[in-house]
Structure 1
């Protein structure tokens, strides 16, 4: 589950590592006549960006009571924030963090006037100055041409969870959602047997996609955040899901990309053409190789989901005991196909299994039941008609915290490390000492990879079970996170980043060959090449990027 959406931070990390672009100017150094010409070329779709909180400030161009009230009500709503160009899910990415320029409310109380009343000013911070609402490949070509002529730095905002660049030109994308029951990738033999597939335009979000899947009696493997776009950084960074344990990651299931590369060419990338680009797009990072306008993914038949909800009273003692017990069952649960989320701050955990029947599920999850019983907790079993039902009943009812600054760090925990008591202790203590934490069982541990379907994600994904995070996250993935507020000092903000990096240090030392999901990584990950991709994949990606 994606928490303090480091998508921008991680997109930034991946892009900075592989990018060949160099910003030679910013939006304010470009003559207004040049902007006017670009706007005319685009049919009037060049927009000036403003921070989402600007209407709350009397100084900085705001003071719109209706918009102010709307933001106060929906400040922590994923979809609301993703629909505003001047907003990111975690507000540290709206801020110029080195100077403190920002336009933020008090996330603990959005009505607190101390944050927005005079003498507070609304400053642009890290929000791009202009953006283009893309309607097709010609708009992207115009953006690349403008960037080449002016030196303006470009960044891509699919649904806009994290990334921003002050003074840059950003392309905002929206598009279609279609089902094809006999899909054959472009350029492949027409004699091939087609497969059921869903084509997803950039900007389409998982909440809409899951509803579409349910109405068409199919299963789409996708993320936890309702506002995440399926054709953006999610799939190009790997793309995990509660179904990934048995059905694979997003990179395993994507069949084709339509992309405009920086040379202005509109290309199709799949296993039959532009294979090197297809490899790069399946794990190389969002916004790194061009602007993806759509992607096509395998659509499986609707599957019945066996689900388990575990609940307990969240005390430190209970959480320590419970997580130790669950760690002892982690390998067996992953082997049997369980994927899910353990969230100590909520005193809850839930899992989904698409391969077992109800009787098998209860037998398989007996260790889980015992773990919750040991802390006087409860477990409840459900049989659900579809993954969409599981999403609505569980995942969507426990959304990640948004509308606040937050720093995250994660690590994928290999299956052969669950007998390392020092590691397990470090994961648990790190999580319980952070502002928010979660373990996500979202790795493709029991997925049988398709022959010839090589991806550019770190191969260590295949042998991990937990992802843990601080935020902090474990894959298992561990997730750790720390937050601050609008009036925090620079020292406090730097301290939050340091806490995450330091909090992950023992976990890194005990899992030297492990992977990191760079969409949810510590932005100061010390060995990012090996952690994000692995040395061999990185060399291939760099060579493709330099073409």
Structure 2
């Protein structure tokens, strides 16, 4: 994720016609004409349609789920006059604006996505007081689920009434999978609880943790630490660990030591699209286990809990590095650093770094479980030597911490939301093994940054095969870093964001794709408009994943953009989810 970046350079303008086409195609929260009966059969029911459940039907459903149904009242409604039952309140609005970048403001709600792009200014705290405030692209209702029966009842209601269904935990979602106009959400956020125990199976014997669907990374890590252990978690402490994070693969500061989050899973407890409660392991419902472990969240079923491996906590080293240089020497130093990465990762360390406009390099955090500050000094020597020889000032710091969590909390304090127009690519190790290939990679990075783009990277060693086969894209095993690229989201001008998204798809991503033919991108942190997304996000696993989805979700209850099987449906200009017209 991007850290500490508040501005962006101007980028080239794209033709207004392209902007208009894109604006008309995605997430527009406006009212639209009612559909005919025949047309309604081709779409999910939408508020205002004849088929939309009546207030009495919603009330009866609320009784079925024991009062857990919640109707959406947009988070920013106190900033406007127009939402029924909510008065304009300047003090509340100011507080919402001041805390908008804090994950806690959004994950405490059942509707607000942290990526504002997918809210499409339905009810935005930064638009004028007299601007619209409607439910729009937010989910219409959510069930504050606490059990498998809540999952089953909600799935059954959505199927009966042909209502769009989404799965939501915290709202950490760059791909728009956990929100949707006219949708009913299964909200898993309050399914808490962790249990640490001794696990024994043919493939793994050791400490394990059973994690409820709503448990966030900081909660799981705190429980592990209390027992002298660590759990593989993501970069942001408030991400739900059992949801789309692990189901989509899951990068981690502990990745070089232990692999992706999906590599840690021993069991899944899940309610499928058919309403069946199943436990999936490498030996029981193994096809479902395989699909859930890397094939994307909210696709095959709703996860109630997962069980994962735990590891012994150890003293941990951390390091930071930054430098700025206006001359082309900067890019020579970038190349030296990139070629230094394989030896750093092979040691078991994980590194986060950024390339920012203005020739700014920032490495705000890196971790070496079981390593020392002296080890980091040695591992970074090729980069530090190049810096010393250049005479360019730089800031370097390495230090020791008693345990992993101490390092993580120090180097990665409370993280605000990274509001970005997003793209990405997995960069293979082969591109940093020779001067020529590394020079080509640096040229692509320079092209992106020189046009106002920003690149953040998670660099970890994932080449070790997992204990149990899973559906993570095979390219991960060849990856030296995940390039997470884009421009900063503009909360005041949606047209700017649409334009930038167009540039990411047509300029920034292709610069890296040209170097990685047949390559991949991370399905949790990629371009929502990624061409050929089935191959790019899922690779050779896609046909088998699609077949497994038909087994466990034969009626296509679960849908989200770029999820397996999602090509059968599309979001119309007004937000309706309709069958794709071939």
TM-score where L is the length of structure 2? 0.80
Alpha carbons of 1:428 and 1:306: their partners in 2 closer, same or farther (altered >3 Å)? farther
SS at match of 2:413: helix
2:471 counterpart of 1:456: yes
- Counterpart residue number, 1:57: 80
Alignment partner of 2:539 out of 531, 534, 538: 534
Instruction: Give, in angstroms, the shift of residue 450 of structure 1.
Output: 4.0
CA contact (8 A) 1:144 1:262 kept: yes
Instruction: Give, in angstroms, the shift of residue 433 of structure 1.
Output: 3.3
- Counterpart residue number, 1:178: 194
Alpha carbons of 1:434 and 1:518: their partners in 2 closer, same or farther (altered >3 Å)? farther
Instruction: Give, in angstroms, the shift of residue 355 of structure 1.
Output: 4.5
CA contact (8 A) 2:319 2:398 kept: yes
- Counterpart residue number, 1:468: 483
- Counterpart residue number, 1:116: 128
SS at match of 2:400: strand
Instruction: Give, in angstroms, the shift of residue 271 of structure 1.
Output: 1.4
Alignment partner of 2:113 out of 88, 91, 101: 88
Alignment partner of 2:66 out of 43, 46, 56: 43
Provide the rounded CA distance (Å) in 1 between the counterparts of 2:416 and 2:509: 21
Alignment of 1:506-521 (within 5 A): 506-521=511-526
2:492 counterpart of 1:486: yes
2:550 counterpart of 1:546: yes
Provide the rounded CA distance (Å) in 2 between the counterparts of 1:393 and 1:39: 44
- Counterpart residue number, 1:201: 212
2:238 counterpart of 1:230: no
Instruction: Give, in angstroms, the shift of residue 285 of structure 1.
Output: 0.5
SS at match of 2:396: strand
2:403 counterpart of 1:386: yes
2:41 counterpart of 1:30: no
Instruction: Give, in angstroms, the shift of residue 158 of structure 1.
Output: 1.7
Instruction: Give, in angstroms, the shift of residue 36 of structure 1.
Output: 0.9
CA contact (8 A) 1:307 1:390 kept: yes
Over residues 472-504 of structure 1, what are the superposed CA-to-partner deviations in whole Å (9 max), with x where a residue is unaligned?
xxxxxxxxx342233443xx3331111111211
CA contact (8 A) 2:425 2:482 kept: yes
Provide the rounded CA distance (Å) in 2 between the counterparts of 1:386 and 1:22: 55
Alpha carbons of 1:38 and 1:317: their partners in 2 closer, same or farther (altered >3 Å)? farther
- Counterpart residue number, 1:396: 413
- Counterpart residue number, 1:477: none
Instruction: Give, in angstroms, the shift of residue 533 of structure 1.
Output: 1.7
SS at match of 2:242: coil
CA contact (8 A) 1:51 1:87 kept: yes
Instruction: Give, in angstroms, the shift of residue 394 of structure 1.
Output: 1.0
Provide the rounded CA distance (Å) in 2 between the counterparts of 1:483 and 1:464: 28
Instruction: Give, in angstroms, the shift of residue 347 of structure 1.
Output: 4.9
Provide the rounded CA distance (Å) in 2 between the counterparts of 1:440 and 1:342: 7
Alpha carbons of 1:195 and 1:494: their partners in 2 closer, same or farther (altered >3 Å)? same
Provide the rounded CA distance (Å) in 1 between the counterparts of 2:403 and 2:339: 29
Structure 1 segments unaligned to the other structure (5+ residues): 5-11, 13-20, 96-100, 107-114, 472-480
Alignment partner of 2:179 out of 164, 171, 176: 164
TM-score where L is the length of structure 1? 0.85
CA contact (8 A) 2:333 2:386 kept: yes
Instruction: Give, in angstroms, the shift of residue 344 of structure 1.
Output: 3.6
Alpha carbons of 1:440 and 1:30: their partners in 2 closer, same or farther (altered >3 Å)? same
- Counterpart residue number, 2:378: 363
CA contact (8 A) 1:434 1:470 kept: no
- The farther-off stretch of 156-165 and 258-267 is 156-165
Provide the rounded CA distance (Å) in 2 between the counterparts of 1:55 and 1:372: 52
Alignment partner of 1:440 out of 435, 458, 461: 458
Over residues 121-144 of structure 1, what are the superposed CA-to-partner deviations in whole Å (9 max), with x where a residue is unaligned?
212221011010001000111011
Provide the rounded CA distance (Å) in 1 between the counterparts of 2:132 and 2:498: 22
Alignment partner of 1:255 out of 245, 266, 275: 266
Provide the rounded CA distance (Å) in 2 between the counterparts of 1:208 and 1:319: 40
- Counterpart residue number, 2:500: 496
CA contact (8 A) 1:414 1:463 kept: yes
Over residues 324-361 of structure 1, what are the superposed CA-to-partner deviations in whole Å (9 max), with x where a residue is unaligned?
22112122222222212112447531311124344433
Alignment partner of 2:124 out of 92, 96, 104: 104
Instruction: Give, in angstroms, the shift of residue 2 of structure 1.
Output: 7.5
- Counterpart residue number, 2:576: none
Structure 2 segments unaligned to the other structure (5+ residues): 5-25, 27-40, 552-582
Provide the rounded CA distance (Å) in 1 between the counterparts of 2:442 and 2:329: 15
- Counterpart residue number, 1:111: none
- Counterpart residue number, 1:325: 336
SS at match of 1:437: strand
- The farther-off stretch of 461-470 and 277-286 is 461-470
Over residues 197-248 of structure 1, what are the superposed CA-to-partner deviations in whole Å (9 max), with x where a residue is unaligned?
1111112111222222222211111101122100100001100012112211
CA contact (8 A) 2:253 2:350 kept: yes
